[in-house]
Structure 1
Amino acid sequence: MIYLDNAATTPVRREALEAMWPFLAGSFGNPSSHHRVGEAAAAALLGARRSVAASLGCRPGDVVFTSGGTEADNLAVKGLALGARPENSTGGHIVTTALEHEAVLESCDYLRRRHGFEITVLPTDTEGRVSVASLDDAIRAETTLVSVHYANNEVGTVQPIALLAEVARAARVPFHTDAVQAGGWLPLEVNALGVDALSLSGHKLGAPPGVGALFVRGRLPLEPVLHGGGQERGRRSGTENVAGAVAFATALRLSTEDRAESARRTSELRDAFIATVLQQTPSARLTGHPTERLPGTASFVFPGTSGEAVLLELEQRGIVCSSGSACAAGSDEASHVLTGMGVSEEVARTAVRFTLAATTTAEDAAEAAASVRAAVAAVRGLGA
């Protein structure tokens, strides 16, 4: 098997497993408990928080551990939007894009339906990029939040986050970015990016599923999504996942240390893979920005085929990939990302996404490219 669905989830790093094991088997205490076992867990949690803060270039108190990227996005969008609104007031205004992950889009829709927020959805070009000018035009006096993803989970397009955040900062509007797909591939120093909140998910960068983090500047009022015992400085109640936090911090640290070389090597492999697919499979069309894209992401549409049928043919040949976001798996609807970029629904249903890892070899990529040609030909009924 050649696994090329790393945007959906990654293998857990051995170092992350080894780091978390003691807090599953031995130091299993509740970090809120005031005894020796609990204090050991609390110390480990603090160490993980400091490690994440070092990777992001922020204060430890600005790190909130969550159950993953979806919760981090929900807490950022709902928490910042509601936290910025004066008590007993209604309405508000959020600016986002049509290409966001469902966690952001559904949070915005909830705020529209239940709390009277207006939502401005920025257009993108055919390659999935947001223009700085369009954001500048969209912000108004009552805007309470801007949320734009760092890199798209389906086509891999990278947004000019620092420039977009600068526009929001000039208007004194908090800026959140969903950086779940950027972890391990792109710089995450929050001050250099200029963002006020940034979401990450552990299982995208070598930690186990079920843990993530939100960076949010402590000066910003944040309404909790989960209420209860007041853990995470009152911003996210619930007994902390100490083992998960330790694994997450370890995986983030390692991926940050490896990032530059991994990104360089994987980008070269990705470009070779894309070139081979486009050359050998004439019907293939690359989606997303040709250069401003995640190092490991190569996404295509194959007009005249079925994306699901191509996936089945590829899996029979030992190539594991996807048709887009794993969060929308099983849906008959065309990708909202592709249609938001102007791709027709019919063509969008032919999408296939390949996401490489730093461990993907040139031989793996070459075999996958050859399998794409055979799979598309088989689906077209031309024979493999």
Structure 2
Amino acid sequence: MHLSSALNARVTSGLTALLLACMSGLVWAQATGAAAAGVAASGNVNAEDRQPLICGMEAPALPLDVPSESLGDVPTGVPAVSYTAAERQCWLSLTQANATAQVQWVDVRDRGQTQRLSAQGVPQVPLANLGDRAFLKGLPLVLLGNDVDLKVLSAQCVALRESGQFLQVHVLLGGIRAWERSGKPVVRGAGVQMDTALVSAQEAWIGARSGVWQIAAVGLGEADLAQLPTAPAIRIAGRTAAQPSPMTQQAASALWQEVAAQMQRTPIEAPRQWLIVTATEVQQSQLMQAWRKASADPGSSTVDALDGQHPATWLAGGMSAYLNDLQQQLALARNAGRSLPRICGM
């Protein structure tokens, strides 16, 4: 039995937007990309001049004459989407999923992502094809995504529930990251070295749009803070980009303890998780080492509190890498007027 025409239309619409976003280029290159050639020199952007963003979202495009030396026009303070009550009812933590008597996991990420990292033993079914998989009908499904795709999966979860064919459908909060962090088996593609504790600059921006990050800023100056995709919940002093030299191991451990302690004291609610943004890659590497060392210590209460429902995730390369990517995407947008093609998940 196939999906009803109403459900089919909703699923197809969402996936079409997703596919178009992937075909048209880097997701956040679209967000920082140039508008159509007809955009006025004043920089006013009309609704028809907006470019689609992944997960059915959209962001205002920038005018073609963005100054090459300036980052002032980068879309910061990204407004997070809102979630309906029905969408929130779709969410399931890994702890809740493990406590459920019977769960049928389904990996609905795109092929490029599953080739790099897949959940061992979990069937891979494109979201658009769920209705055609007879063996899934009537089973308590838990959809496994890539974490920052929460909005689109939540919307499709509601559509699947309303179809009458999938009354028990949930979305795993944290996606593949939560799966691997819990110790569940994964399979990496040949030659793939992927650390799920790290997020790329693009994932940081998309995740901010999906409302999945709560930022802890470490060692960021005022200029850097202004470029974050969302305002930080906590700010902690540390070595800035102007002080790139490594810290001593003792200093890194002390700084991590301060970061963890402040994160513990700061309220956080689902679907948010901590995203730690350091000033530089050197600082990020040292703090991650201190974090992992503390994680191996069974007596470390600060880590235990963070690695449960709200684990720590890190912006790869720190703020310096994030700003470098922004500049590259702005340069591409200015020179080409559009994003370069990119396959989803690659």
TM-score, normalised with respect to structure 2: 0.28
